[in-house]
Amino acid sequence: MIFLTLEHILTHISFSIVSIVITIHLITLLVDEIVKLYDSSEKAMIATFFCITGLLVTRWIYSGHFPLSNLYESLIFLSWSFSIIHIVPYFKKQKNHLSAITAPSALFTQGFTTSGLLTEVHQSAILVPALQSEWLIMHVSMMVLGYAALICGSLLSVALLVITFRKDIKIFYKNNHLGNESFSNVFGNTYFFSAKNYYKSQSIQQLDHWSYRVISIGFIFLTIGILSGAVWANEAWGSYWNWDPKEIWAFITWTVFAIYLHTRTNTKLPPANSAIVASIGFLIIWICYFGVNLLGIGLHSYGSFTLTSN
Amino acid sequence: MSSLSLQFPNSPSLSQEKPIDYNHLKLQVVEEVVEKGFVGFVQFALGYWGNGHYRCIDGPGTSEQCKSLCDFLLEPTEAKGNHEWIRISIGELLLIKGRFRISTFRNTLKIIPSLVFSLGNGFSLLGFDHMFSSPLFLSLLALLAASLMACTYTTQIPLVKVARRWSFVHSAEAISKQEIAETLPRASVQDLGVILMGAGYEVFLKGPSLYAFKGLAGRFAPIGVHLAMLLIMAGGTLSAAGSFRGSVTVPQGLNFVVGDVLGPSGFLSTPTEAFGTEVHVNRFSMDYYDSGEVRQFHTDLSLLDLEGKEVMRKTISVNDPLRYGGITIYQTDWSLSTLQILKDDEGPFNLAMAPLKLNGDKKLFGTFLPVGNTDSPSVKGISMLARDLQSIVLYDQEGKFAGIRRPNSKLPIEIDGTKIVIVDAIGSTGLDLKIDPGVPVVYAGFGALMLTTCISFLSHAQIWALQDGTMVVVGGKTNRAKAEFPDEMNRLLDQVPEIVESSSSRQSDSSSG
């Protein structure tokens, strides 16, 4: 009983903290930059991280199995991954470009998880025989971490597209016209006429770069996740690839992000090209993670849920 | 084990048919072998009934006609004796061109894959119904392999050659043109070299000129990624062409010969010595959670060779297969085969149990003991249902609930004047067997892919420096970590000690500065 209460408390604390953090960021953005508040928001995200960790550990102890057996638990894991991604730059003493993406993502994921839509899977469930394996930990955690990183990266690309296409196309063409001195060597060189263009190109530069790095990390996790899933499938079902809907969509996600990485090989092209691919990738991740579960068929039906309350 | 597909009027028949008149509708039920390589189980099927849309096996809204059809479909076929589950590939479903009503949003989502796969008959021409082994798909895969090899040869290998060249740059101007360029006024290039070495760079010093790099593996790794993918594809081809697969449901106490169960998957499949092994199911048991759900199921297997000598004995469970002679036996499913009962202290009688379908994954098995006149057209009797090996639920002739008995309790139950004792519930184990020569190759490919993808994350950083009098001109570039590199360079350059000159050097400073 105590575990349930503890779990309940931790869920609500983490949700509230993240809401407060987002409010602070909005205030920073719209009203005024108060540095002390910014620092406290960083610490608050660390507190959220510990809360969600506590939540997962509590569930682990309470149910006896690693907390990744159904959709609810994987969503909590997803918001935990977002909070990790949020605090990693903090520890590397870099300015956190990702905070605008990761904090709201963590909030929305937590919110959706704890909302009324998934109440039937809130309880810790027993593991069916097929899930009783050490591979569960490796495969699912890698996949969820991969999804989290890829979602962050694709959202950064979406932000890049928004900034690129917000003002007139005229500005975009003007930049493009400057030949091979393209966006990739603009570090420190004030190449543009107005401060607004400079900041815009700086933002685009930063977003492009961070999107690339985060998606690279996510791609690594996704690869490891898919391959460990294949090895597990071979151990459990005798076949490492079954053309299951979930497997197919994971493969499609992998391919789309491989396309993203390949579109970046040509550095002459503007960053918006690869950003478009990454934005498509964002949609595909959600189809893979959520959409396939709605179908409720195939070998991965543990994650399925119904939208209608039965 | 068979898979059944529903065929509707006006669609091409696939193989032998057995027409069944079902009210006013003529339904042809055909039997078909599961497409090689396409192993997907579907827990529902869509059926078109002429003027409406019915969901047949899963979910609410199951109509009576639907249910009886499903019960029919689930009867064991004579040839195979017993089976575990129906595999209906989505691709086989052919919706009649015409109207169909979609009742809920969930239905919509479920319909979409079958729509995509099966709209019209023309799709089967393109191979969409057996998508992943169709010639179109395989030729696309071959194209991918070819393009991977072409890319590696034409683009990646030359890039590596360029990157590996140690080029000392001898002019300060060229260095200043690098992405990140700095000058250190009073420094020595040797100090810089030492600091770079401490930071993990490989440093080369020739006179006043320095070249350092880090992370060269990041340039090789993409080649490794492509090679690993090719390896995986080769292993997959070997698996598809050279493996054996089979499934069998064996009641406890019976046995089977491996070779009878395994079927080849392609032209490279050759049987081995181990095919003559006989597998004996000694015992099938299940563990349960406190809530009554199944926790795990185990099968105690003995392998006997051609002479009848036991060569191996192991208890397998899900996620814990048996490996012998290249053959792997997996525990994938279970079933109830017979119920042993005593009727009025006579017996024991073995009643075969048949699977009944419920919504979702739950299993239900039932059997029937006829009582009274067994020749009359409407025979009545005692029904017995079981969800697992734990307990049997009994119903009387009117269909009313009579009681629950556990098989080992030996407690009798009196129903309609008949005394029944449940002696035992005998389960059958569902086993999948496989020989796959491609697995080591594929695993090697997997390992290589994981490793090379991780290494591809490394950024190849190069730094050049030139000692120009007492000044050191430093320039550097990197291919991936473009945002972090300036900070890293600044940190390293901050560590280079400033040489505080004495008066004699001050003259040379002023002459060169």
Q: What DSSP character marks residue A304?
A: -
Chain A residues touching residue B486 (CB < 8 angstroms): 187
The span from the CA of A25 to the CA of B99, in Å, is 53
Contact A48, A22 (CB under 8 A): no
User: A165 and chain B: CB distance < 8 Å anywhere?
Assistant: no
Q: Is residue A125 part of a domain?
A: no
Residues A99 and A170 in one domain: no
User: A243 and chain B: CB distance < 8 Å anywhere?
Assistant: yes
pLDDT at A143: 93
User: Six-digit token pair at B357?
Assistant: 């379908």
Q: Is residue A126 part of a domain?
A: no
Q: Do B39 and A243 touch (CB under 8 A)?
A: yes
The span from the CA of B37 to the CA of B242, in Å, is 12
Average pLDDT over residues B171-195: 84
* Single-letter residue type at B197: M
Chain B residues touching residue A307 (CB < 8 angstroms): 105-106
**Among all chains, which residue has been given the structure tokens 């990739």?**
A184
Q: Do B456 and A241 touch (CB under 8 A)?
A: no
Chain B residues touching residue A209 (CB < 8 angstroms): 482-483
Query: How does residue A189 score in pLDDT terms, banded at 50, 70 and 90?
Result: very low
Residues A74 and A171 in one domain: no
Chain A residues touching residue B43 (CB < 8 angstroms): 296-297, 301
Residues A242 and A299 in one domain: yes
Per-residue pLDDT for B62 more than 70? Answer: no
Residues A246 and A267 in one domain: yes
- ipTM above threshold 0.85: no
Residue length of chain B: 513
Contact B28, B17 (CB under 8 A): yes
Contact A116, A184 (CB under 8 A): no
User: A234 and chain B: CB distance < 8 Å anywhere?
Assistant: yes
Q: Do A231 and B106 touch (CB under 8 A)?
A: no
* Single-letter residue type at B398: E
Q: pLDDT tens digits for B403-453?
A: 888 888 888 888 888 888 888 888 889 899 988 888 999 999 999 999 999
With residues binned 3-state (H G I as helix, E B as strand, rest as coil), the percentages for chain B, rounded to 5, are 30, 35, 35
The span from the CA of A85 to the CA of A149, in Å, is 7
Residues A49 and A180 in one domain: no
The last residue of one of the domains, among A93, A120, A147, is A120
Per-residue pLDDT for A176 more than 80? Answer: no
Query: How does residue A247 score in pLDDT terms, banded at 50, 70 and 90?
Result: confident
Q: Do A129 and B295 touch (CB under 8 A)?
A: yes
- Of A224, A210, A90, nearest to A155 (Cα)? A210
Per-residue pLDDT for B88 more than 70? Answer: no
**Among all chains, which residue has been given the structure tokens 């090719």?**
B230
Average pLDDT over residues B3-12: 38
- Comparing CB atoms, the residue among B40, B245, B481 nearest residue A243 is B40
- Comparing CB atoms, the residue among B131, B318, B434 nearest residue A130 is B318
- Out of A46-50, B72-76, B430-434, which region has the weakest mean confidence (pLDDT)? B72-76
Q: pLDDT tens digits for A222-237?
A: 999 999 999 988 888 8
Residues A164 and A306 in one domain: yes
Residues A10 and A96 in one domain: yes
The last residue of one of the domains, among A92, A120, A148, is A120
pLDDT at B72: 46
- Out of A195-204, B212-221, B241-250, B415-424, which region has the weakest mean confidence (pLDDT)? A195-204
User: A132 and chain B: CB distance < 8 Å anywhere?
Assistant: yes
Residues A292 and A211 in one domain: yes
pLDDT at A301: 63
The last residue of one of the domains, among A71, A99, A120, is A120
Share of chain A above pLDDT 90, in %: 15
Per-residue pLDDT for A172 more than 60? Answer: no
**Whole-number average pLDDT of chain B:** 71
- The answer for A 85-114 residues in CB contact with B (under 8 A) is 94
Q: Give the chain B residue nearest A306 (alpha carbons).
A: B106
Q: pLDDT tens digits for B34-56?
A: 222 222 222 223 233 222 223 33
pLDDT at B496: 85
Q: Do B450 and A224 touch (CB under 8 A)?
A: yes
**CA of A245, closest CA in chain B: separation in Å?**
9
The span from the CA of A183 to the CA of B278, in Å, is 69
Q: Give the chain B residue nearest A244 (alpha carbons).
A: B40
Residues A110 and A146 in one domain: no
HEC letters along B80-111: CCCCCCCCCCHHHCCCCCCCCCCCCHHHHHHH
Average pLDDT over residues B184-201: 88
Q: pLDDT tens digits for B318-331?
A: 888 999 888 899 98
**Whole-number average pLDDT of chain A:** 76
User: Which domains, ranges and CATH numbers included, belong to chain B?
Assistant: 169-215+459-494 (3.30.310.10), 337-373+380-426 (no CATH)
Q: Give the chain A residue nearest B433 (alpha carbons).
A: A238
Local structure of B137: helix, strand or coil: helix
Q: pLDDT tens digits for B356-384?
A: 877 666 788 888 888 877 777 777 888 88
In the A/B pair of chains, how many CB contacts fall below 8 A?
A: 115
Residues A138 and A105 in one domain: no
Q: Is residue A51 part of a domain?
A: yes
Selected for mutation to probe chain A from B449, B453, B455 (highest A CB count within 10 Å) is B453
Domain that holds residue A5: 1-120
Sheet of B354-357: strand order equals B354-357, B363-371, B380-386, B392-395, B401-405
The span from the CA of A130 to the CA of A65, in Å, is 13
Residues A221 and A303 in one domain: yes
Q: pLDDT tens digits for A73-101?
A: 888 888 888 888 887 877 776 666 666 66
Q: Which residue has the higher pLDDT, B70 or B429?
A: B429
Q: How many domains does chain A have?
A: 2
User: A239 and chain B: CB distance < 8 Å anywhere?
Assistant: yes
Chain B residues touching residue A290 (CB < 8 angstroms): none
Q: Do B432 and A185 touch (CB under 8 A)?
A: no
**CA of B296, closest CA in chain A: separation in Å?**
5
pLDDT at A94: 65
Chain B residues touching residue A187 (CB < 8 angstroms): 179-180, 482, 486
Residues A288 and A253 in one domain: yes
pLDDT at B151: 78
User: A39 and chain B: CB distance < 8 Å anywhere?
Assistant: no
- Comparing CB atoms, the residue among A206, A209, A230 nearest residue B446 is A230
pLDDT at B264: 82
Share of chain A above pLDDT 70, in %: 75
Q: Is residue A170 part of a domain?
A: yes
Query: How does residue A187 score in pLDDT terms, banded at 50, 70 and 90?
Result: very low
